[in-house]
């Protein structure tokens, strides 16, 4: 799983346009400054724009942009291909000697970027740090793990406390870095991926170079630069001018710019944008959202088709359930809840909130997310729920979300494991060691029981049925409200050949410059 920022959308209004123009000019000046300093973009370098910057070089920090960029530098034991099938990565072979033991044999001849050989003790230490470090945001992948050890020089053994059908999938999320602390890794980032770090400015540019140029496909970039333009309009200008080669662009770009100088590529994507709700009963004060009738009223009061239309340009992206259609665990038989403000008002009155109440809605501090926040606030105000939108910097929003310190907030969820079980583990299971790390306060013994059964079951039909019961539980108990599905829409400049991945990662080795063909 990776946390995603809220959806992008083109800014509206003259004031927003003027601000975007100013910021775009500053961004262009920054690139020009790089050129004057000798960092001219060579023909063999691809420039990739993310909506949010790379926040850390420590791969246990799993924000979507950071994870995507660092996937070029560090490798997991196993990875996903474009069909979301598990394939070898740093491990070439894996096996289950029994239902609670996993063994991974490392790829023969694998080396770190400094030329030293990769050994099982190095990998076991990296996994243990990801598992135990209090700051690790991928610790949930180890929720069932009892021990990690080197079984010789080339084999890593993981023992679990119980059968865990998710473990292999979860290992795709854990990138292997050498180093004992985040500070050491950021000071000297050493991985085994196709690119190595050349320069990084926290909150700014990340520059990579090929670790072993001779091992790359002929047409693959020899250098990669990740940048963060100051908003969607600046991104589009940078694509149009050729300053950026590949960038996420607002879906509305397809409508507003029918003939751009760059190509537009789209994938359905695996991201659902969600309104998260703290459902806890709080000593000394009333939390209206602790009452399921209030939460159901929220769902009835939100016109999710209209929110999707405003956010991504089309009502068909409204999310009637959190789990996308392409993800294992989606329930196609689940009937959508209709938009019914009158019924919402009746439920609020029944719950003792006939006069409504006030609350704060936290969200990322950018114009597209503010647009969604205003739409949600406007719809809920019509039934008496008065929301005050409160923007936060992305890094601060992540910190408070991780600490469980946000009563009501907007944030996306990327289903990059292709399996809904990890989503339910993180969002519905009670917060404990390795579980419920994104749970905003929901408690349900039934949810815990269903997840426990699904995670221990290797038979696909039974697991599917258990996950679909969790889909229905979410609709009934409303621990959060799925709003819309975020399509992956990319602008690609004329000198790059590339096809987006369903998991949204931007892997430079899969791109081709000039007339070359991208690697599959």
Please say whether the dihedral angle defined by the alpha carbons of residues 344, 349, 350 and 352, taken in this order, is positive or negative.
Answer: positive
Mean of pLDDT values over 156-185: 94
For residue 520, give Cα distances in angstroms to 83, 272, 494, 507, 508: 11, 27, 20, 11, 12
What tokens were used for 174? 């854990």
Task: List, in order of start, the domains of the chain with CATH numbers.
Answer: 74-181 (3.90.76.10), 268-487 (3.10.105.10)
pLDDT at 514: 84
pLDDT at 11: 27
Which tens digits make up the pLDDT trace of 210-264?
999 999 999 999 999 999 998 888 998 999 999 999 998 877 665 555 557 899 8
pLDDT at 438: 85
pLDDT at 441: 86
pLDDT at 82: 87
Lowest mean pLDDT, pick from 10-14, 294-298, 380-384, 419-423: 10-14
Pair 69, 57: CB distance under 8 Å: no
Cα separation, 277 vs 297, in Å, equals 13
pLDDT at 37: 38
Lowest mean pLDDT, pick from 114-118, 265-269, 405-409, 502-506: 265-269
Cα separation, 489 vs 8, in Å, equals 10
pLDDT at 232: 84
Mean of pLDDT values over 104-112: 97
Alpha helices in 223-280 (DSSP H): 232-241, 253-256
Cα separation, 150 vs 156, in Å, equals 5
- If pLDDT is split at 50, 70 and 90, which confidence band does 475 have? very high
The 3-class secondary structure across 327-392, one letter per residue, is CECCCCCCCCCCCCHHHHHHHHHHCCCCCCEEEEEEEECCHHHHHHHHHHHHHHHCCCEEEEEEEE
The helix-helix angle for 304-312 and 367-381 (nearest 10°) equals: 160
Which tens digits make up the pLDDT trace of 446-474?
999 999 999 899 899 999 999 999 999 99
Cα separation, 6 vs 9, in Å, equals 10
Chain Cα centroid distance, residue 409: 16
Mean per-residue pLDDT of the chain: 88
Cα separation, 75 vs 145, in Å, equals 20
pLDDT at 74: 98
The residues facing 200 across adjacent strands are: 206
Please determine, for residue 148, whether its predicted confidence score (pLDDT) is greater than 60.
Answer: yes
At 99, which helix (H) or strand (E)? none
Q: Using a pLDDT cut of 90, give the percent of the chain over it.
A: 67
């Amino acid at each position: 799983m990776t946390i995603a920022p809220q959806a992008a959308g083109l800014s509206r209004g003259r004031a927003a346009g003027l601000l975007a123009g100013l910021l775009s000019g500053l961004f262009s000046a920054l690139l020009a400054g790089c050129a004057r300093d000798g960092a001219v973009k060579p023909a063999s370098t691809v420039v990739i724009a993310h909506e949010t910057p790379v926040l850390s070089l420590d791969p246990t920090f799993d924000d979507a942009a950071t994870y995507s960029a660092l996937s070029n530098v560090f490798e997991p034991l196993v990875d996903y291909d474009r069909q979301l099938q598990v394939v070898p990565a740093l491990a070439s072979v894996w096996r289950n000697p029994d239902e609670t033991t996993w063994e991974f044999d490392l790829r023969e001849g694998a080396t770190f970027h400094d030329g030293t050989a990769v050994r099982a003790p190095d990998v076991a230490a990296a996994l243990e740090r990801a598992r135990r470090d209090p700051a690790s945001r991928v610790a949930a992948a180890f929720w069932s793990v009892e021990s990690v050890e080197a079984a010789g020089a080339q084999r890593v053994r993981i023992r679990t406390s119980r059968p865990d059908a998710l473990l292999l999938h979860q290992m795709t999320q854990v990138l292997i870095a050498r180093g004992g602390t985040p500070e050491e890794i950021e000071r000297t980032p050493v991985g085994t991926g196709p690119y190595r770090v050349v320069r990084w400015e926290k909150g700014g540019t990340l520059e990579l170079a090929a670790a072993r140029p001779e091992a790359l496909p002929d047409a693959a970039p020899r250098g990669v630069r990740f940048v963060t333009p100051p908003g969607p309009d600046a991104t589009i200008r940078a694509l149009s001018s050729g300053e950026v080669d590949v960038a996420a662009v607002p879906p509305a770009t397809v409508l507003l710019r029918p003939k751009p100088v760059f190509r537009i590529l789209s994938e359905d994507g695996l991201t659902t944008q969600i309104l998260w709700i703290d459902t806890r009963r709080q000593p000394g004060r009333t939390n209206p959202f602790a009452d399921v009738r209030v939460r159901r009223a929220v769902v009835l009061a939100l016109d999710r088709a209209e929110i999707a239309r405003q956010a991504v340009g089309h009502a068909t992206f409204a999310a009637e359930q959190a789990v996308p259609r392409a993800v294992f665990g989606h329930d196609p038989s689940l009937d959508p809840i209709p938009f019914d403000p009158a019924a919402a008002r009746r439920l609020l009155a029944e719950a003792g909130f006939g006069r409504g109440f006030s609350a704060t809605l936290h969200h990322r501090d950018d114009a597209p997310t503010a647009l969604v926040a205003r739409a949600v606030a406007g719809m809920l105000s019509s039934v008496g729920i008065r929301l005050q939108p409160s923007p936060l910097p992305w890094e601060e929003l992540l910190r408070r979300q991780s600490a469980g310190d946000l009563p009501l907030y907007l944030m996306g969820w990327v289903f990059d494991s292709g399996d809904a079980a990890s989503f339910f583990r993180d969002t519905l299971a009670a917060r404990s060691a390795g579980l419920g790390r994104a749970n905003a306060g929901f408690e349900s013994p039934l949810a815990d029981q269903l997840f426990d059964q699904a995670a221990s079951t290797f038979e696909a039909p039974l697991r599917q049925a258990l996950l679909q019961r969790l889909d229905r539980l979410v609709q009934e108990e409303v621990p959060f409200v799925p709003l819309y599905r975020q399509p992956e829409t990319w602008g690609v400049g004329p000198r790059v050949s590339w096809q987006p991945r369903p998991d949204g990662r931007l892997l430079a080795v899969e791109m081709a410059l000039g007339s070359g063909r991208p690697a599959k």
